[in-house]
Structure 1
């Protein structure tokens, strides 16, 4: 399917703001968060510390009157430098461009399916700085299909799942994990749309090198096409 048509079809799957975390949070509770290398304030934050980043986000929300911080699609970040899983001495091999959309809310928050689907795969990715527990849903329609990925979940979220299990739109199917189980991040959801899973299961690259960005931009479109956070 031609790429522009594919994007349009994804956008048509939802008509308005569609929560991917607890529906008690309204669209008006969300605040856009900049964690990019161009954010001068972050130069004063120890981005190697999940506690320091979480304190920064809590302060940001308090100052802006929000309850949920979100953002990060195609954002170049320094927070991955702390992990050998992403870092590399060769700049061309350094993965630091974020391919999903992050939603920062407390551990234990319910995760909702924005559209109906089935469980494609799930896995606990235990590398330092990785997803931790992760679930991938598959969404099939008459003439196209795609996948959504949910990273940094609780381990308990994986315990009752089965591959092929049906998930309804708006259904709670997981919960956010703590820093101790989510790859050592402040609690947040990494949400990503994927066109072709390339045989990955329970995992898919969520951070790209600059060299491979054109491919991943095409294969992982903007998650806000579905969520429509304004």
Structure 2
């Protein structure tokens, strides 16, 4: 999947848990990337990250790979590429819950999925939808002027609401607040990043916590933010 007149290289690495529709969601972004001058390569494995010579030519990595593992040489290659200026972007568990076996990956990305609140236990059926709840994505003061989120107002979703463990090095463009319900363990509202960026060495990182399935990727606000985020992150 390449375009002959492309001037930049994009690598899509996808896989992991099928519930996040890694193929469908990334396929939906390929035409956008090609229209914006990227030749797109798709890999179904992290093995490509160990190819240092190839990775040095990549301007953007789009990763959607949930609850997987990464080998030491693969992460070393990925880390070196980002440090040297390759952009990295992704959404939901495909970037924020990818490799629980590698603390350095978490350090680089800047946020780790910890929880998604569920419906009232009496309403649960054992399906993914048990964790689909209504919530608002609040654009931060920084987000109001950042090229990724500028001009986008707060918006509502009904999907998984990620509780993200993060640090102050992130540039947070949007947040979401977990409310307190009678069946929850926490006893006050908790605000977590929903959209953030991170400068890592010479590389730019973009993360959207919303993006559980294709219908969320196709939400107009989420889609606009992700498309802008891909272009922003690219070398």
Provide the TM-score with structure 2 as the length reference: 0.30
Which of the two has greater strand per residue? Answer: 2
Q: Looking at both structures, which has the greater relative contact order when contacts are Cα pairs under 8 Å and sequence separation is at least 6?
A: 1
TM-score (norm 1): 0.30
